[in-house]
Amino acid sequence: MSVSDHPIALRLEQQVGGATRLLATVMGLPLVDGIFPALVVAGALTTETGAISPGGVLQTGLLIFGGSATVAVILAEMDGTPTEKAISVLLVGAVLVPLAVVEAAFAQTLYSLFDPDVFQRFAGLVILAIAAKTASAEVGTYLPGPGAIVGLGMIASFRGGAELTMNFELATLLPAAAAAGTGVAFALGVALGAPTLQGAVDIDRFRFGSSVALGMLAVDVLGLLATEQPVALGVLAVTALLSYDPDSSGDITESTPDEPASTTYSLDADSEDRPVDLTSELAVDGEGEERDGAGAVGAADGGTVEDEPVEESPDEPERPPYL
Q: What is the pLDDT of residues 113-169, one digit of tens each?
A: 778 788 888 888 888 888 888 787 777 778 888 778 888 888 888 877 666 666 677
Q: Which helix (H) or strand (E) holds 175?
A: helix 170-192
Residue 260 pLDDT grade (very low, low, confident, very high; cuts 50, 70, 90): very low
Can you say whether the dihedral through the CA atoms of 130, 135, 140, 142 is positive or negative? negative
| pLDDT score, position 57 | 92
CB 172 within 8 A of CB 39: no
Assess whether pLDDT exceeds 50 at residue 22: yes
Within 10 A of 65 (CB to CB), how many other CB atoms are there?
29
pTM score: 0.67
- Could you tell me the CA-to-CA distances from 216 to 52, 77, 152 in Å, in that order? 20, 29, 22
211 vs 239: CA distance, rounded Å: 10
Phi first, then psi: what are they for 159, rounded to 5°?
A: -105, 115
| pLDDT score, position 23 | 87
| pLDDT score, position 315 | 53
CB 89 within 8 A of CB 184: yes
CB 75 within 8 A of CB 194: yes
Residue 248 pLDDT grade (very low, low, confident, very high; cuts 50, 70, 90): low
166 vs 323: CA distance, rounded Å: 125
Q: Provide CB contacts within 8 A for 163, sequence distance 6+.
A: 112
Q: Residue range 77-88: average pLDDT?
A: 89
